Structure 1
C-alpha cells in the first residue's frame, strides 16, 4: 500500500514553522509497512491544493493531509477535498456537540461563529474525535482510495494519529506489519551497512533497513505475516544474527529507549554513580543524562569548567599541567575526570575538553580536537577524537561520543 503526505500551510513554505508533522507521519507509515513515495507542501491556496490532491490520488492508495482544518477563511483543506471528491459539506452532529463541550470547559464560553465551520465534513466521510482541540480529523473513502485529513498542530495531530488513524490504516493492510529496532552505538553507518550487506542483499521478508543519526545507527527489522506472533517468529532469527554480529555495540532493542536511558539503567544495575566535567560541551553531556526520569539516583553533579581557572578551582587540575600541555590535552582530560569524581564523591566521571571552533585551532591542535577522560574505580582512560563540521556539529559529536565512552567503560569494567 502506498501513501502520500500533503502538508498544508503558507507558514510552512515560508519557513516560519518546521514541518515536524511530515517527519512523524513518514516514520509512522514506515512502521505500519506503508510505502511513502511522495511528500508535498502546499500553501493556503485552493487551486494549488486541488491540483496537488488530484495528482496524489492518481498515484497513491492513501493521501494524508495535515493542516488547514481551522476556523479561519484561509483554512481550505476540507473544502478543497470535498470539491475534488465531488461532495457537499454537511454538519456532523457529533462534532458540533464536541465543539460545544470544548468551549463549555474553557474560560471563553462564547463560541465564535467561525468555529462551527469545523463541524462540517464532506458528505459520507467519518469524523475522528480530537481530544486536544476543536478540529476533528476526517476520513473519506473515494473510488478505492482513502483521504485522511488531520489537524496541523502537532499536539493535536500526533495523539489523533496514534489513537485513531494508525489502527485504521493497519486494518486496511491484508497482513500484520511488525517491526523491531536494534539500536547500535559506536559504529559508523558505512561499517554497519557493510557488516549486514549479505542480509540486505538477500532480504525479502523480513527486511532490514538502517537509519543513521549522530553516533548511532538504528536497524529496523520489519516482517509481514498473518498475525503478530508469526511476524515475531520471522524477526527473531534476524535479531539473533544482528546480536551475534554487533555484540555490545547494541545498546537497546526497545524502540523508545534512548542512549542516555540505557546508560542510566546500566549505572543503576551496577550500583554506580556518575558526574560530568565539561569544557567545550558546556553542560550538554549532563543535559542528556538529566533527560532521563529518575537519573538523580545515579547522577550526582555536573561541572562546567570553561576557563582554565575554573578547571583548577573546581576540579583540581594543576596549573603546571595547563601550562605544560594546555587545556586541550590528554593530561588535562585525565585530571578533570579524577577531580570531578573526587569532588562529587562518585564512582565514575566523564570529562570533555576540546576546540569546538571556528577559531582557536593550530597545526598541532586543530579545530575539532577533543580529549575525553573516563574515571572508574581509580583508573582513568583517555580517548582522543578529531571531529569535523561546524561548532554545533563538533559539540554534538562530542556529547554522543562521551555517552558512548561512559557505556564502554562500564562494560569493560564488568568484563
Structure 2
C-alpha cells in the first residue's frame, strides 16, 4: 500500500447531530492518529439513515485512503452502519458464528439470556476482518479495498472505541500503509494579548515555517500556539520543536505562561511555592471563581490562605474595612474600591499578597460611564497597591472567566518580577 495516506473520520449517530451527545470520539481518534503518523484531512458526521451513511462513505472514499467510522453498530433498528457499508461496497452480509458465540458468552457471564436482536451484531460484510471487542458486544471491522484503501469500523461507545483503536486499528493501519513518519505537536500558551496582536508578533514565523507548522487557537483569556512537526525520528522532531519554541518564546517574553496541558493557575501556584509567598483573594463580580481556580490544585493550602466573596457593599465594608464614603463617592465598581479591597484583604488575612476584584459582569447593571464588562483588578503587597482597569466584551459567564484569568495573570506577572525578592 501507499507509504502516505489521507484519513477521514466518519462519526455516525443522530444524537451527535442533535447535540444530545458530544462527539469526543473524533477528537480522540484525531489525536491518536496524528501521534501514529497518520494525518486526518477530513471529518464528517451523519445521522442514523442508511442512504446518508452510504453517501458519506462514498464521499470519504473518493478523497481518502483511510476511512475510520464509529457508531451505529448496536443491536437496535436504528443501528445501520454495517448494513449501509455492505450495501455501498456491494458486499453481502453473513452471520459470523464466532462473533455470535462471543456475544452469547458475554450475556451468559452476566446470567442473562441474549435478546434475539443482538444477532444483528454478528452480521458481517463479506471479506471484512472482524476486530474482537473484549469490552462490548459490537465487533469492529477492517475492510481492505484493493491495494490502496481501507475502511475501519469501530463501536461508538468511547471506552470500547479507544481500546480497539490503539490495540488493533492503528497497528493495522501503520503496517498496511508502511507508515514511517511520526506527527508530534506541542502547544505554547500566552495570555494578556489578542489573537490578532499575537499574529503580528510571530506572523512571519507562521508564514515561513513549514515543518514544524504553526497554528493559532483563541480561547477565553488566552491564545494557544500549536506547533506540529512530521519526522521519522522522534529526536529530530523534538529538536525542531525546541528550536522553534525558543524563537517564539523569545518574542513573547512574559506573555508566554505555559505549555501543553498547563493551566494558568498551576503556573501561579508553582511561582507562589517557589517564592514562598502566600495570597488571599477578595472577589465581587467573579463570585468565588478565582478562589476555586487557585484551590483546585493539590497542595494549594501551602500558599492560599483565605478568600472572601464580598458581593454586597455591606460585605466590603464589614469584612474588608472598605470605607462607606469611598463606595458612595466612587461606586462599588471603581479603582479606589478595588484598591481598598485588596489592601483590606491583605491586612485581615495577614498574607504576603492579596487580590481584589470588582466589576459589572452583566447582563444588567451597566451604564454609559460604567458599561457591562468594566472590571477593576488590584493587587496588594507589603509595599504597594496597584490596580488595572479592564473592559470585557462577553456575556456574564465569559466576563467572570476573563476576570479570573486576568487576575491570575496579574498575580503571575507580579511573582515573575519579584522572583528573587521573596516574601517581605
Shorter-chain TM-score: what band? 0.7 to 0.9
Whether 1:19 aligns to 2:23 is yes
The 8 Å contact of residues 279 and 303 in structure 2, kept in 1 or not, is answered as yes
Provide the secondary structure at the position in 2 that maps to 1:364: coil
Whether 1:280 aligns to 2:299 is no
Whether 1:91 aligns to 2:57 is no
Deviating more after overlay: 204-213 vs 140-149:
140-149
- The alpha carbon displacement at 1:315 in A equals 2.6
The 8 Å contact of residues 107 and 114 in structure 2, kept in 1 or not, is answered as no
Provide the secondary structure at the position in 2 that maps to 1:237: helix
Q: In the aligned structure 2, how far is the partner of 1:317 from the partner of 1:272?
A: 24
TM-score (norm 1): 0.87
Sort the Cα spacing of 1:189 and 1:31 in 2 relative to 1 into closer, same or farther, 3 A.
Answer: farther
Q: What is the match of residue 153 of structure 2?
A: 149
The 8 Å contact of residues 139 and 148 in structure 1, kept in 2 or not, is answered as yes
Q: In the aligned structure 1, how far is the partner of 2:416 from the partner of 2:77?
A: 59
- Unpaired segments of 5 or more residues in structure 2? none
Q: What is the match of residue 177 of structure 1?
A: 183
Pairs within 5 Å for 1:57-136: 57-87=61-91, 88-91=93-96, 93=98, 97=102, 100-101=105-106, 104=109, 109-115=112-118, 117-118=120-121, 121-122=124-125, 123-127=127-131, 129=133, 131=135, 133-136=136-139
The 8 Å contact of residues 170 and 176 in structure 1, kept in 2 or not, is answered as no
Pairs within 5 Å for 1:6-405: 6-26=10-30, 29=33, 34-87=38-91, 88-91=93-96, 93=98, 97=102, 100-101=105-106, 104=109, 109-115=112-118, 117-118=120-121, 121-122=124-125, 123-127=127-131, 129=133, 131=135, 133-143=136-146, 144-158=148-162, 160-161=164-165, 165=169, 172=177, 173-253=179-259, 255-405=260-410
- The alpha carbon displacement at 1:42 in A equals 1.5
Sort the Cα spacing of 1:316 and 1:25 in 2 relative to 1 into closer, same or farther, 3 A.
Answer: farther
Provide the secondary structure at the position in 2 that maps to 1:177: strand
If asked which structure has higher relative contact order (CA below 8 Å, sep 6+), I would say 2
- The alpha carbon displacement at 1:180 in A equals 2.0
Q: Number of paired residues?
A: 411
The 8 Å contact of residues 354 and 381 in structure 2, kept in 1 or not, is answered as yes
The 8 Å contact of residues 37 and 180 in structure 2, kept in 1 or not, is answered as no
Q: In the aligned structure 2, how far is the partner of 1:299 from the partner of 1:95?
A: 58
Cα RMSD of the aligned pairs, angstroms, is: 2.9
Structure having the higher Rg: 2
Provide the secondary structure at the position in 2 that maps to 1:71: coil
1:319-363 Cα deviation digits (max 9, x unpaired): 122111111011211222223334444333222211112221122
1:365-408 Cα deviation digits (max 9, x unpaired): 11110001122345322111011132232222222222222211
Q: In the aligned structure 2, how far is the partner of 1:340 from the partner of 1:102?
A: 61
The 8 Å contact of residues 278 and 304 in structure 1, kept in 2 or not, is answered as yes
Provide the secondary structure at the position in 1 that maps to 2:418: helix
